[in-house]
Structure 1
Amino acid sequence: MSNAGPNTAVRVVSPLPGQVIAAMDIPDPVFAKGLVGDGVAVVPDDDAGVLTAVAPLTGRVVKVLPHAYIVQHASGPAVLVHVGIDTVHLKGEGFTVHAQKGDQVEAGDRMISVDVALIRSKNLSPCCPVVVLDTKPGAIVTDSIGSRVEAGEPLFDTVGS
């Protein structure tokens, strides 16, 4: 949807393979209460090892850290992908960054690699919130909750504003 205008919905794809859960089920109150925006999360499979997290939409990388990144669509929506809960405490251990701030990416382009087994071995959750920043509940439409997705498959659409 690279030519989406300001009143156009934007398709967001899953950054990782796994089970889709509702925002309210994310094991972190900031995400569960929608304080940063509306979205869902993807929980990698129990036997996942090293996975490559991909861009959730076509746009510009506005921030990238080892454990999280933000991609902003040309029409405005910015999507945060946060790989794991409390993974900031790993200080980059188990993560490899492939994209840089300012890069133009296509939905599905590789962003970071993550060692999910390492995250689990540190007793951290690999749950991966995918959130449209600065939005209220109802900003997305999805029928993927409760289903399994592969990286790059549709996760939700933003609601045209």
Structure 2
Amino acid sequence: MLSKLFGGKNKANVLEIAAPLTGTAVPLNAVPDQAFAEGHMGGGLAVEPEEGRLVAPFDGTVAHLIKSKHAVILEHASGVQVLMHIGINTVALKGEGFHALVATGDTVKAGQTLIEFDMEAIRTAGYPLITPVVLANQAEAAAELDAVKTGRVQAGEPGMLRVSVKPQ
């Protein structure tokens, strides 16, 4: 009886994903890269950063730090994975201008700095700084994007993305 009143086992859990950067959050279709703009990499949004610091948007585990340190996938205990990709085509920089403070397999806390990056060096090299933040395994994690917050965001500020995760 109580499980019927409070949703029972089939109720989705809500995961609040904090802003991983300080800047302006924009829809994914503003990203000058077709794979991100059309949602092929997953649902989410992007942030035009104002400072060169990427932080963990929730407590989790570093599922993968890209070798060139321009992107990281963080996994939540629910199984949801979030890809944060600093800039567009920045893999071509081969790690120049990026300083990772974590490694694959590390456990991190919300707000912990993951990567520091030199915004001016990236701009000077001719790459856009816009940073997609997407659900990397949306289907596998049975996750549904409920809400996104566009406009001004502060690194660590809760609620940039809200995701429903169905119990497996």
TM over 0.5: yes
1:141, CA displacement in angstroms?
Answer: 2.8
Give the residue type in structure 1 aligned to 2:155.
A
Aligned to 2:116: 113
1:143, CA displacement in angstroms?
Answer: 4.7
Aligned to 1:56: 57
Aligned to 1:158: 163
Q: Is the 8 A contact 1:36 1:135 kept in 2?
A: no
RMSD over aligned CA atoms reads 1.7
1:142, CA displacement in angstroms?
Answer: 2.9
Mapped to 1, the partners of 2:32 and 2:73 lie a distance apart of 20
Q: Is the 8 A contact 1:85 1:128 kept in 2?
A: yes
Aligned to 2:29: 24
Aligned to 2:149: 144
Give the residue type in structure 2 aligned to 1:98.
L
Mapped to 1, the partners of 2:93 and 2:33 lie a distance apart of 17
Mapping of 1:32-111 within 5 angstroms?
A: 32-45=37-50, 48=51, 51-65=52-66, 66-111=69-114
1:128, CA displacement in angstroms?
Answer: 0.6
Mapped to 1, the partners of 2:13 and 2:144 lie a distance apart of 12
CA pair 80-25 structure 1, distance change in 2 beyond 3 A: same
Q: Is the 8 A contact 1:59 1:74 kept in 2?
A: yes
1:144, CA displacement in angstroms?
Answer: 1.7
Mapped to 2, the partners of 1:91 and 1:115 lie a distance apart of 13
Mapped to 2, the partners of 1:143 and 1:22 lie a distance apart of 8
Greater C-alpha Rg: 2
Aligned to 2:132: 129
Give the residue type in structure 2 aligned to 1:62.
A
Q: Is the 8 A contact 2:55 2:155 kept in 1?
A: yes
Q: Which structure 2 residue ranges, 5 or more long, are not aligned? A: 1-10
Total equivalences in the alignment:
150
Q: Is the 8 A contact 1:24 1:31 kept in 2?
A: yes
1:153, CA displacement in angstroms?
Answer: 1.1
Q: Is the 8 A contact 1:37 1:132 kept in 2?
A: yes
Mapping of 1:1-20 within 5 angstroms?
A: 7-20=12-25
Aligned to 2:7: none
Sequence identity percentage: 37
TM-score (norm 1): 0.87
SS at match of 2:91: helix
